[in-house]
Each structure stands twice: as C-alpha cells, then as structure tokens.
Amino acid sequence: MAKSIHASINEFSKNCVDLDPTKLGTARSSRNWLVDKIENFEKTDNEFPEIYKKENNVQMGSFARRTKIRPLDDIDFIVVFDGKGSKYVTNSYGEITINVPETATNLSRLTNDENSLNSIKLLNKLKSSLQNVPQYSAADIKRNFEAITLKLTSYDWNFDIVPAFITAPDSSQRTYYLIPDGQGKWKKTDPRIDARRATEINQKRDGKVLRIIRLIKYWQKRHSVPNIGSYLLENLLLNYFNNNEVSASDQVTLRDVFSYLRNSIYHSCNDPKEIQGNLNLLNLDVKDRFSEAAAKASICAQNAINFMAKDDHKAAHAEWKKVFGSEFPDYE
C-alpha cells in the first residue's frame, strides 16, 4: 500500500510492470551460453553452415530495447551466418531470394533445385543441431515462422532464435539482415535501428520514456483493451515522445499519452526501418475499440488529477485502478 499517487505508480512499475532485476542477469547469461553453443556447432558437425562471428548475437525485440514487461516470456536474438559469396535478389513482389554459389558447400545442402537458399531448410538444420545438445534433450524445440523457439523447463522464458545473413552495403552504404519470411524465402529487417531509436528518444527525454512505454504496454494487456501489437504500440509512443516532453507528473504524462493514442490509432505509423511501410494495418473495428479504451483511460487520469487537487488520494487511487486493474496499489 502507498499514500501518494507518485509513490503508488513507482511501486506499481517496480513490482508489477518492469522485469524482475534478479532474473535479468540469469536471462542474459543463459542467452550468451546458448549463442556460444550455436557458434560451436560447426566444430562438431561438418555440415553445419559457418557462423559470421563478426556480426553474430544481434539483439532484437522488446527485451533488447528495454520495453519488455512482466512476465519475461521470450528473448529474441539473431544468429548471423556467413553467406560465403551468396547474392540476393528481390522480385517485383518484394520476395527475396538468396542464391548460393557451389563453393559454399554447407549452404548448398540447404538449397532448392535452382541453388536458392531455402530458409525453412536452414531453420530445420538449426533445430536439429539444437536437439543434439545434451542440456536441451528435454527441451521443447520447434520451428515458428521466422525463428526456432527453444523452451527449457529450467527457465520461465523461451528463446526465439532467428537465422540471418547480413548484406553488403548498398549504394547508400546501408546494410540489412535477411531473415526467414516463413515461406522458404527471405525478408529484410534491421533491429539496430529500432534499438537506436528507442535509446535516442529515451535519452532525449532524460531517460523517462521507456518506463512510460512499459506502463502503457501493461495497460494494453487488459481484457478491455484490444491488442494492437506490441511493436505498433511502441512506435506510436516513440512518435509521441519524439515530439513531446515528459511531464514532471506521471499522471499528466499518462493522461496526455492516452489522449494522443485515442486519435493516433487512426493515422498511419511508418516503419522507422523504412522496410515495412505503414505499420498500422488494423481494421476500423479494432481502431474504434482501442480509441474508446484510450479515451476512457484518459478520462480516468484526468479524474485522478482532479481528485489530487482536492487532496482526495483515495479517490485518485480508485481511478488508476480502473486503468491498470487490481494490481495497482490500494490507498493506505
């Protein structure tokens, strides 16, 4: 229990929203141990493709951007393979094919008849190699669209392992990661841009942004709020904080963010990586329901602010319970 709204929001963030700091060290160590095992597959399996160690273990996802909320259920990372002189081409539909030279022996084992690298075959090769690690013999290992998902009984979280190749610099000196598209071909991504953007905007606002993002993500988990996708929500919020300061009061910041989300959900949200185009492809019904939920949260926030102006802390706490649910602290 807590007396002030400021203390209650901080307590709520620490105990219910933010990742448990005691688990973070274990999570990172377990990921690094796994990466080391994967990098050594080629030493025990002469058919395993070579890892490109200069660019390997690329972090991606909300865990890497520090916008992950409890529970810690998945950790994503990219394993980068050496292309061995392979070339990629993009057709008129945006599909990417990687063509493998005959000299790339181990990659050639994973190609289609026309020497194009089959991303599903590479995923399955990674999966079979993981199954041969004694520590993973009892693990649940499966192919999941663009990744191999590894679930160990000893941890609360999954590992989503994404195989990739890094491209040579293009005419603008930009490089990309080519990852599986789930259909046997490849697609572009670049998690470095997402991570850099989140860090830069957070620093621009004195390190206060990521905590607010995590609070809003927690709010979206409620049954009354449509799930618009973590990545879209995060980019909407980063767009807001790129142009707006963080208030000295959490209540005011959250009120203003909810008010912004009420309207911004109807607008385009361009991919900061300039790969996917508009991220906001939600249908109108989902947009309407999300807008309504954000509007209600904004009203509750304003009500709480009004109650605090009257020194009615108990009523203010009751308003924030409407927003975040029963785990929000009671007024003492």
Report d(CA 30, CA 209) in Å as an integer.
28
Instruction: Classify each residue of 246-278 as buried b or exposed e, where b means 16 or more C-beta atoms within 10 Å of its C-beta.
Output: beeebbebbbbbbbbbbebbeeebebbeeeeee
Largest CA distance in the chain: 77
Q: What is the pLDDT of residue 137?
A: 73
Residue pair 218/71 in contact (Cβ under 8 Å)? The answer is no
pTM of the full structure: 0.94
**Tens-digit pLDDT string for the chain (332 aa):** 567 999 999 999 999 999 999 999 999 999 999 999 999 999 999 999 999 999 888 999 999 999 999 999 999 999 999 999 999 999 998 899 999 999 999 999 999 999 999 999 999 999 999 998 888 877 899 999 899 999 988 888 999 999 999 999 999 999 999 999 999 999 999 999 999 999 999 999 999 999 999 999 999 999 899 999 999 999 999 999 999 999 999 999 999 999 999 999 999 999 999 999 999 999 999 999 999 999 999 999 999 999 999 999 999 999 999 999 999 999 98
State the amino acid at position 45 in one-letter form.
Answer: D
Nearest to 328 by CA among 19, 14, 68: 14
Domains of the chain: 20-189 (3.30.460.90), 194-324 (no CATH)
The DSSP bridge partners found for residue 89 are 97
pLDDT, position 1: 56
